[in-house]
Amino acid sequence: MAVITVERKPLTFLERTYLPQIAGGLKTTFKHLIAPKKTLEYPEQRPAIPVGYRGVPTLVKDPNGREKCVSCQLCEFVCPPKAIRITPGEIPADQADRAHVEKGPQAFDIDMLRCIYCGLCQEVCPEEAIFLQNQFSMSGYTRAEMVNHKDRLYELGGTLPDAHHKWDKKKAAEEHGNTH
Amino acid sequence: MFDFYFEIPLVIRLILQGLAVIMVIFPIAGACSMAERKVAAWIQDRPGPNRATVPWVAWIPFLGKFLQRLGVFHVMADGGKMMFKEDSLPGHVNKFYFVLAPIVAMIPALTTVVAVPFGAYFDAAGKLIPLGLAPLDIGMLAVFAVSSLGVYSAILAGWASNSKYPFLGSVRASAQLISYELSMTLAVLPVFLWVNAPGTEGTMGFARVVEFQSQPGFLGGMWFGFLMPISAFIFLVALFAETNRQPFDTVESESDLVGSFHTEYGAFKWGLFFVAEYSHMIVGSGVFMLLFGGGWNPLPWVSLATAVEFLGTFLPFAHAPLFVGILSIAIFMGKVLAMIFFFMWVRWTLPRFRYDQVMKIGWQKLLPLSIANLLFYAIAIALIQK
């Protein structure tokens, strides 16, 4: 590597007085003084959430309003801080619209004091039932308040569009006499 | 109309006038603390404190919201907090001097106001009467003498705190204040050499200086800031150093001295140091404006008398002493506040000098410059006024 000798010019008299630099600095700060403010005033103004943002994990329903989660417990197993607790349950026989759904969680708790927002649950979920969505602020006065139960998770999650319609296909296949 | 006022005994009248001036300086010092935060915020592209509000003010449709956005109520919240906080007295301090220090800081800061005229009016004979608490003939000397007492508060506070950082801070403060006082005094001498022309009555008062800047003609109406730019510059730099403002903030440099001599202070005693610093700034800006900025004259080459004459053409009450007095005070306060804004603007622009740089600038740059400046003007004035 060649060594390049940079000539260092001695400071001029004006530069040594430091005054032109001060004047330049004052000019810059004055520009900022009258420039529009860059701050978001938080509770009233919210930041735009970028695509792919990992916020609070939520459970989502399919377009028919059914739970997508089948309580396979993969997210519970993959969760690094063990924030997820699932109690698997059967689908009650009296719910006709859920007749073709395999299973559903009886209880689904995510402890937000443990969650590290890594998104592994979303990645591992075979049913596309758990998503880290846009909510970024979680607060509560007690530890119990910081645990999101199943109903709260669905309330946060809402319904997302679904490309697969797995249970509809299963129902149609069954009506045609195929098991799958 | 105001005859009843002049029938009050002189002592009570003076006390009333003094209280009136303090009642103005104190809120301005408070408002300056807010302005400081707002200017800092605006320069950093932030809106600044704008949340606190009082219900019955918030109900005023437009003004209430405006005052809230301006952060006016944060001043009151801050001040109120300072009043009600526990005024703690650390166990390891020398109690007497520890309590004395903020008082010693406050007294000179407010006393200097006495010698500073802040307005003027014309009496029936058309003579200019300056408005001030005490129209001293030794105005400049009084300000220098009393304001330099402020250094004792720094020394006392640092020594009485009985801990390391306050002590270092007070040593720095005293060295810095003493160093820059020299250049400051030398910088104003040309002004008084010029004002005290041979054959006139000698004075060190401010009123005469302002009178000199309000004469007719090109040279007469010229403010001393234009006539003696080097003097004005040295005085300004020394003023920044004397008031411990950035870039001469080494006394208070939080990053190496915690909080300097007021590290151990809290609540109201700390507040007194704070108000004293802003009072020094206000008085210092006032003195600068009187000496180099034309005092209560609205514009260069436009004196107060000319302005009143002009206003008199369409305002019937323009020649009333009350109106002229209020107008001159408003002009002067406007200039002082502009100056304080400049202090803040510089603060949020420049980083602070290192301590050795402060000493070097003071002794090796400013002092020779001010001596050369004095010699130049002494010779020039001697040639012009002989």
Question: pLDDT of B54-113, one tens digit each?
Answer: 888 778 888 888 888 888 888 888 888 888 888 888 888 888 888 888 888 888 888 888
Q: What pLDDT score was predicted for residue B48?
A: 85
Q: What pLDDT score was predicted for residue A179?
A: 63
Distance from the Cα of B377 to chain A's closest Cα (Å) equals: 22
Q: What residues of chain B lie within 8 A of the CB of A34, using their CB?
A: 42
CB pairs < 8 Å spanning A and B: 35
Q: What pLDDT score was predicted for residue A76?
A: 92
CB contact under 8 A, B45 and A29: no
CB contact under 8 A, A38 and B45: yes
By CA distance, what is B237's nearest residue in A? A19
Could you give the C-alpha distances from B32 to B35, B66, B113, B186, B270, in angstroms and in order? 5, 18, 17, 29, 16
CB contact under 8 A, B42 and A32: yes
Question: Is A30's Cβ below 8 Å from some Cβ in B?
Answer: yes
Which residues touch B29 (CB under 8 Å, ≥6 apart)? Answer: B274, B275, B278, B279, B282
DSSP A61: B
Distance from the Cα of A6 to chain B's closest Cα (Å) equals: 28
Nearest Cβ partner of B349 from A29, A35, A39? A29
Tokens of B227: 């006539």
Could you give the C-alpha distances from A35 to A39, B38, B45, B47, B139, in angstroms and in order? 12, 14, 7, 11, 42
Confidence of residue B371 (pLDDT cuts 50, 70, 90): very high
Q: What pLDDT score was predicted for residue B93?
A: 84
β partners of residue B122: B128
Q: Which of A4-13, B319-328, B348-357 has the lowest mean pLDDT?
A: B319-328
Determine which of A13, A26, A44 to mutate to test the interface with B (most B C-beta atoms within 10 Å). Answer: A26
Q: What pLDDT score was predicted for residue B123?
A: 74
Q: What pLDDT score was predicted for residue A120?
A: 93
Tokens of B110: 């407010």
Nearest Cβ partner of B350 from A25, A35, A37? A25
Distance from the Cα of A35 to chain B's closest Cα (Å) equals: 7
Nearest Cβ partner of A37 from B39, B45, B345? B45
Question: Is A22's Cβ below 8 Å from some Cβ in B?
Answer: yes
DSSP assignments along B336-352, one per residue:
HHHHHHHHHHHHTTSPP
Report helix angle B72-84 to B63-70, nearest 10.
60
Report helix angle B139-147 to B267-292, nearest 10.
150
pLDDT of B208 higher than 70: yes
CA B90 – CA A54 distance, rounded (Å): 49
Tokens of A157: 């999650």
pLDDT of B1 higher than 60: no
Q: What pLDDT score was predicted for residue A18?
A: 84
Q: How far out from the chain centre does Cα B373 lie? A: 24
By CA distance, what is A26's nearest residue in B? B349
Confidence of residue B51 (pLDDT cuts 50, 70, 90): confident
Determine which of A13, A16, A34, A39 to mutate to test the interface with B (most B C-beta atoms within 10 Å). Answer: A39
Tracing tokens 């300004």 back to the chain, one arrives at B236
By CA distance, what is B353's nearest residue in A? A18
ipTM greater than 0.90, yes or no? no
Nearest Cβ partner of A29 from B46, B47, B348? B348
Distance from the Cα of B342 to chain A's closest Cα (Å) equals: 10
Q: What residues of chain A lie within 8 A of the CB of B44, using their CB?
A: 32
Nearest Cβ partner of A37 from B46, B348, B350? B46
Asked whether A82 and A153 are in contact (CB, 8 A), the reply is no
Q: What residues of chain A lie within 8 A of the CB of B349, using their CB?
A: 22, 25-26, 28-29
CB contact under 8 A, B45 and A26: no
Average predicted confidence (pLDDT) for chain B: 83
Question: Is A179's Cβ below 8 Å from some Cβ in B?
Answer: no
Asked whether B223 and B300 are in contact (CB, 8 A), the reply is yes
pLDDT (tens, 9 = 90+) of chain A, 180 residues, equals 789 999 998 988 888 888 888 899 999 999 998 888 888 888 888 888 998 899 999 999 888 888 888 889 999 999 999 999 999 988 887 877 777 778 888 999 999 999 999 999 999 999 889 999 988 888 899 999 999 999 999 988 888 888 888 888 888 887 887 765
Q: What residues of chain A lie within 8 A of the CB of B42, using their CB?
A: 32-34, 37
Could you give the C-alpha distances from B176 to A95, A120, B100, B128, B180, in angstroms and in order? 85, 61, 22, 38, 6
| Domains located in chain A, CATH noted | 61-160 (3.30.70.3270)
Q: Can you tell me the mean pLDDT for B228-239?
A: 89
Residue B152 parent element (H or E): helix B150-160
Q: What pLDDT score was predicted for residue B179?
A: 87
Instruction: For A123-160, give one letter per residue: b (16+ CB within 10 A) or e.
Output: eebebbbbbbbbeeeeeeeeeeebbbebeebbebbeee
Nearest Cβ partner of A29 from B43, B46, B47? B43
Question: Averaging pLDDT over each range in A48-62, B15-29, B75-89, B249-263, which range is the top one?
Answer: A48-62
Using CB atoms within 10 Å of the CB of residue B200, give its burial: 0 to 12 exposed, 13 to 18 middle, 19+ buried: exposed
> Nearest CA to B355 among B169, B186, B221?
B169
CA B11 – CA A6 distance, rounded (Å): 74
Distance from the Cα of A44 to chain B's closest Cα (Å) equals: 12
> Nearest CA to B158 among B91, B92, B98, B241?
B98
Q: What pLDDT score was predicted for residue B372?
A: 93
Structure pTM?
Answer: 0.82
Q: Can you tell me the mean pLDDT for B311-328?
A: 78
By CA distance, what is B50's nearest residue in A? A41
By CA distance, what is B361's nearest residue in A? A17
Query: Helix, strand or coil for residue A148?
Result: strand
Q: Which residue has the higher pLDDT, B16 or B123?
A: B16
